[in-house]
Structure 1
Amino acid sequence: MRSRKTHRSWAALAPALLLAACGSGREEAPAPEPTPAEREMVPTATIPPPPAPAPDPAPANRTAAVIPGEQGERMETMPLAMHGVWAGEGTRCARSSDLRLEIARDRLTFYESVAKPVAITRGAGQSIEAELELSGEGETWRERQTFTLSEGGRRLVRSMADGRSVTYARCNSEEDL
């Protein structure tokens, strides 16, 4: 009788043992760690290239063209309202344009010259007078110029001491640059 009971116990346990054996056999080996070179590799199709930085086009808050200070007051830098890229009227904003002007706080970049403001004075209305130290094509010279904003900061007139002037339009989009 004992042998029958043992046989029944084994018969009852057999499916459970078979089921356990299926799941517990060999475990899969973990995936190998990627090499340092593989870790640095990123599929290029999933990550777009970063956009090219644009030179300081005028944000919306600058279009009011407010130059701070009182007439005759000295300024340390070019006014924020004038910062950005400008194109001579009727020309494009491309870097290759000979009437392109880029104004930053302490530098004006023209087609073939660069100017450093030596002295800046707040003028009447939306204008400033600047004593500039210019350099280009192997020469250095000083010149006094007046810069006047108009049309809510969309136009800039640069007047030279000899009476010449150039009117610029603000370059606002990356398409313009």
Structure 2
Amino acid sequence: MINLQVCPEEIQNILQRLSSRLHSTSQSGASSLGNKCCVGRKSSSTNIMEFNGQYRLERYEGIEEFMSAIGRPGLAKRMHTDEIYYEFEVNGNDFKITTRKGSNVSMNSFTIGEEAEMDMPSGEIIKTVVKREGNTLKYSLENICCSWELLDSNTLISSLALGDVTYKRFFKRLQ
């Protein structure tokens, strides 16, 4: 089982260390990869749906492969499930996303297409630009492509991808 309350900070630290390592070993490669990591991944739907609402974690997939890809294969085994909720508040291109994991609450606000500072579970702040393609919101952490996609009106998928290796969390909309 996976504990997403205890370990998101450790996951974020790993992602940031991996990004720093790749950036320092290949300045131009990591920078260009970071800018292009979401290119070519299209939203699966042409009908634009509303993100507004609350979502609860239902299941996940690919965590073992993803943790191996970032050099931490044992991390997935030490985690177990926890109640995780997202709340999306949308006003035009302005988004506010609140994440609740047990008693921990974090909030990020951004405007589509504009640089924003996002608080990571590790407490660090990153600057990124969130883009919208149909029912998908995308941003990059150097070589990690992050996204939220509305698969249908009741299913939200949160993904982290490193190359062809993807960790997905599936959330259901609360009525």
TM-score, normalized by length of structure 2? 0.34
TM-score, normalized by length of structure 1? 0.33
Structure that is richer in strand per residue: 2
Q: Give the structure with higher Rg (CA).
A: 1
